[in-house]
């Protein structure tokens, strides 16, 4: 293990083995203040030098050069970028697929879901940023379709959802439910009653159901809630509740 990785806190899943991957927490980085830790968000107001160091540490932990760590300009879409080489500039998309050895796919999140995909036998991997808009819009199914087009077998694909906001921390209003019901009449089962007209939305449960309906081999969640554990995770919603000026971004990476 590279020396820089020794101070990092990296979550992994046996389901994605033997492929190298990691859902990185905020521990072990060079950022300070409200960003303290491994903030990998180039779009944050953190010092760009600190973010570059953090991204290099995460890349090194998986045996990648900083240049081989590929990301996209995330816009809450269902768009998937097919990655065949390091990008000169990020493209607008919320997911990536590659079958090129030596490349790492990196997704940034701070309550939204980082989802890592793999068909190790076919040598095809994917990564998605799936907030409620992306999940409802079909970004997860789009990754599966793109992986299949690159030679993966749908029934052999594994998907793992990393640290994300849990249902107990995700309060929404009635208009949010209406948006889901307009697209999926069965979505009501992912909402639990809250105070007054408020509800708690199960983003993970909704996404796992979509993944399983897509016919992949397995789908699971690591079980970590970003909102509830400030020592390990950044959270956009928590930063709003605390009236903080900005928030850090976690990185999740998978590589061939």
Q: Where are the domains of the chain?
A: 3-255
Element containing residue 125 per DSSP (H, E): strand 124-130
Highest CATH level, class, for 3-255: alpha beta
Buried b (16+ CB within 10 A) or exposed e, 165-182: bbbebbebeeebbeebee
Residue 3 has pLDDT above 80, yes or no: no
Q: What is the pLDDT of residues 42-99, one digit of tens each?
A: 999 999 999 999 999 999 999 999 999 999 999 999 999 999 999 888 899 999 999 9
Query: What's the rounded Cα separation, in Å, for the pair 203 and 248?
Result: 21
DSSP 8-state symbol, 248: -
Q: What is the pLDDT of residues 189-212, one digit of tens each?
A: 999 988 889 999 999 999 999 999
Q: Please report, for residues 81, 130, 160, 235, 244, the alpha-carbon distance to residue 230 in angstroms, rounded to integers and kept in the order given.
A: 32, 21, 22, 8, 13
Residue 2 has pLDDT above 60, yes or no: no
Q: What is the pLDDT of residues 100-149, one digit of tens each?
A: 999 999 999 999 999 999 999 999 999 999 999 999 999 999 999 999 99
């Amino acid at each position: 293990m590279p020396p820089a990785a020794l101070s990092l806190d990296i979550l992994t899943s046996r389901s994605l083995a033997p492929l190298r991957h990691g859902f990185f927490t905020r521990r072990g980085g060079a950022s300070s203040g409200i960003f303290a830790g491994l903030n990998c968000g180039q779009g944050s107001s953190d010092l760009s030098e600190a973010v570059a160091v953090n991204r290099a540490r995460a890349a090194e932990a998986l045996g990648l050069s900083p240049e081989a760590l590929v990301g996209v300009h995330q816009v809450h879409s269902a768009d998937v970028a097919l990655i065949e080489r390091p990008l000169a500039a990020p493209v607008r998309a919320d997911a990536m697929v590659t079958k090129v050895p030596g490349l790492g796919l990196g997704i940034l999140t701070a309550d939204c879901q980082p989802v890592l995909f793999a068909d190790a036998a076919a040598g095809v991997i994917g990564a998605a940023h799936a907030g409620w808009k992306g999940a409802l819009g079909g970004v997860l199914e789009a990754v599966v379709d793109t992986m299949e087009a690159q030679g993966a077998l749908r029934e052999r694909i594994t998907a793992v959802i990393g640290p994300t906001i849990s249902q107990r921390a995700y309060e929404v209003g009635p208009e949010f439910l209406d948006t889901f019901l307009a697209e999926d009449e069965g979505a009501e089962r992912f909402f639990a009653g809250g105070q007054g007209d408020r509800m708690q939305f199960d983003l993970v449960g909704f996404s796992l159901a979509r993944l399983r309906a897509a016919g992949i081999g397995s789908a699971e969640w690591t079980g970590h809630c970003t909102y509830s554990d400030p020592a390990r995770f950044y959270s956009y919603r928590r930063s709003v509740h605390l009236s903080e000026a900005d928030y850090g971004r976690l990185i999740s990476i998978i590589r061939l």
